[in-house]
């Protein structure tokens, strides 16, 4: 806003700010959606399995005791797991809650641990790639907006470092800032970091050579925002059959374990 007032282009700068905020908020929602879906699947699967083990399996167990015969190994394993869960369910619940709480506190209080999580979360299949591309999109969007507003490149990189949302990119951008302040080209330093996609580096190089760096960085942001959109949509489509498969294996496995003794008894009677 300050740059816009001094340059007599306040309307254009406010428009840029609005666009930046709209794009970044939309990107955040997309990434959250991608992260929430797999977690929700796991939670539902665990809850369904726990209910079956605690409420349904004991009903079959009392029936099996009347058979007076040895249970199949798979059935016995499920019965033992059910008995253990009925006895220690509160310990399991407290352990899960405690682990989640301690993890959140460690991320919040320890910068070293938080950086460690940021580094390895980028290596996760699918989700890591989404987070990686979203960081590149944020880099392009923030740097384009601040540079176009008249902020010097080195100062603009300060703002970008904290806005990417990942420690790997934050540290890389800090190194880029040091390189740029000593006279290195932005695209050359980006290439040296070995984390930026080739497309992002090439568009930045074109922007530097043509004098339209802000426009090219905006194109970087748009390209990778679109990629994140597509990847999130694909992940959502892939997760639906995976949910069915996971729940089918868990529930189906428990049902088979419970009915195996009945099938065996039927064969003996036959």
Other residues' Cβ atoms within 10 Å of the Cβ of residue 175: 13
pLDDT at position 66 is 67
How many angstroms separate the CA atoms of 128 and 122, rounded? Answer: 4
pLDDT over 70 at 9, yes or no: no
* Domains of the chain (ranges, CATH numbers): 15-230+244-269 (1.20.81.30)
Calculate mean pLDDT across residues 65-70: 66
User: Is residue 10 predicted with pLDDT exceeding 80?
Assistant: no
Q: Which of 264, 247, 246, 253 is nearest to 77 (CA)?
A: 253
* CA pair distance 236, 242, nearest whole angstrom: 10
At 78, the pLDDT band (50, 70, 90 cuts) reads confident
Q: Does pLDDT of 246 surpass 70? A: yes
What are the tens digits of pLDDT across the range 19-55?
Answer: 778 877 887 787 777 777 777 777 888 888 888 888 8
d(CA 215, CA 68): 78
Structure confidence at residue 61 as a pLDDT band (50, 70, 90): confident
Per-residue pLDDT averaged across 119-137, rounded?
Answer: 86
Q: Reply yes or no on whether the pLDDT at 269 is more than 60.
A: no
Contact 217, 140 (CB under 8 A): yes
Average pLDDT, the chain: 82
93: exposed, middle or buried (C-beta count within 10 Å: 0-12, 13-18, 19+)?
exposed
Q: Residue 202's pLDDT band (boundaries 50, 70, 90)?
A: very high
- The average pLDDT across 57-63 equals 76
pTM score, two decimals? 0.73
For residue 102, what pLDDT is reported? 92
pLDDT at 3 over 70: no
Q: What is the pLDDT of residue 99?
A: 92
> How many residues does the structure list for the chain?
270
Q: What local confidence, expressed as pLDDT, does residue 247 receive? A: 79
- CA 178/CA 157 separation, integer angstroms: 10
The pLDDT assigned to 39 comes to 78
Separation CA 115–CA 132 (nearest Å)? 14
Q: Tell me the CB-side half-sphere exposure of residue 53, using CA atoms within 13 A.
A: 22
User: What is the spatial distance between Cα 224 and Cα 199, in angstroms, rounded to a whole number?
Assistant: 10
């Amino acid at each position: 806003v300050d740059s816009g007032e001094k340059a007599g282009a306040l309307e254009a700068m406010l428009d840029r700010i609005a666009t930046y905020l709209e794009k970044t908020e939309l990107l955040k929602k997309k990434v959250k959606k991608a992260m929430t879906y797999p977690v929700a699947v796991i939670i539902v699967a665990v809850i369904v399995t726990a209910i079956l083990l605690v409420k349904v399996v004991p009903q079959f167990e009392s029936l099996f005791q009347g058979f007076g015969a040895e249970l199949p190994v798979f059935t016995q394993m499920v019965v033992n797991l059910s008995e253990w869960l009925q006895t220690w369910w509160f310990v399991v619940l407290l352990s899960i809650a405690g682990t989640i709480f301690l993890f959140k506190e460690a991320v919040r209080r320890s910068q070293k641990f938080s950086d460690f999580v940021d580094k390895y979360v980028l290596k996760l299949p699918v989700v890591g790639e989404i987070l990686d591309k979203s960081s590149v999109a944020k880099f392009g969007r923030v740097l384009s907006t601040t540079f176009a507003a008249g902020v010097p490149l080195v100062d603009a990189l300060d703002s970008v470092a904290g806005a990417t949302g990942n420690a790997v990119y934050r540290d890389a951008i800090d190194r880029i800032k040091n390189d740029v302040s000593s006279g290195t080209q932005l695209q050359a330093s980006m290439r040296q970091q070995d984390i930026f996609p080739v497309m992002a580096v090439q568009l930045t190089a074109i922007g530097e050579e043509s004098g339209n760096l802000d426009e090219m960085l905006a194109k970087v942001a748009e390209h990778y925002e679109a990629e994140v959109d597509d990847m999130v949509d694909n992940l959502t489509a892939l997760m639906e059959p995976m949910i069915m498969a996971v729940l089918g294996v868990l529930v189906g496995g428990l049902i088979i374990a419970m009915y195996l003794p009945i099938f065996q008894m039927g064969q003996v009677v036959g």
